[in-house]
Structure 1
């Protein structure tokens, strides 16, 4: 059966009709808050925040959406702290805030007003290495080195957690003091990934420092 000429549609005409009808379905009011289409985009909100970084008080005026990681790297130029996944999954951005390790990429800078923050630059210097930095060198606890600042900051905090009696998922006695065993260290360091696979050397370095401080 042949279609009458007045009802025949080309593919191009059909696509044009479809696009036209689709645009009609979107109410103009629904586009009012879309930047560049409706109302003009609102200017970013900025605020002042001050914290002590590696023993020095630093004051910044930041967009409230700036992460602690970007504040450290882009505004204070402390680039030892690395941006890896930017989703809190790799641990490369680990820093110590008020004695506890955190993923700096998951925390807003404005949340840390008055906090004491320690980055890898604040742990030691080439002429005066922190014991954990020296242990990583001694045990060859790195290869490419990208994850190393986060690994070291996390390791320093791990030994402090163990000393304070904070249990992990593998701690057998929750009322007693856990030891800096390889099992404890592996569990506590599981959030710090090393794509080069230097895990065994990292564990040895942390055990070494843990034994020295026991």
Structure 2
């Protein structure tokens, strides 16, 4: 059964965390990432930076071969990283256990990841991998994906929770009566994680209601 897990790691324990040494106020967000043997160039966003030379703000790290700027919009920068495949870190553990990274957001306070495995065994294998390595991980959530049938259009429990709470708090009203920050704090997750759940929930609802099979 497909299973999701959320966990945090210290800022310095993920290669891209080196930017926080020079620009502690930024947020780094990975694009959706499906690790496998051939994946070496994931994309990621840096938000809140005040410099156009964003590539130079990353300190050298043994897990990163190269970082290049792809595009930028005001203070948001899209970059691409090339990993050192021999570096035994978090991405290696994710790759070897075939887990999909649903979201990965980092700040100077640490990284929060949400990942999904096709089976519970994949999640268990990942946990065994990091327990045998030097990776420091704090797991905050593990649950099987149990689609809610009927009127919920097969939303996952976490997607439904996020959508319903956002609706009840007036997030979708005009003007808005609440914010991502407030709703995320109520659920106990980051704003980025809440935003990701809302996007996936919206996609599921549109798929089930507005498109033709």
TM-score normalized by the length of structure 1: 0.23
- 1 or 2, which has the higher helix percentage? 1
Look at both structures and tell me which one has the larger radius of gyration over its CA atoms. 1
TM-score normalized by the length of structure 2: 0.23
- 1 or 2, which has the higher strand percentage? 2
Higher relative contact order (CA 8 A, sep 6+): 2
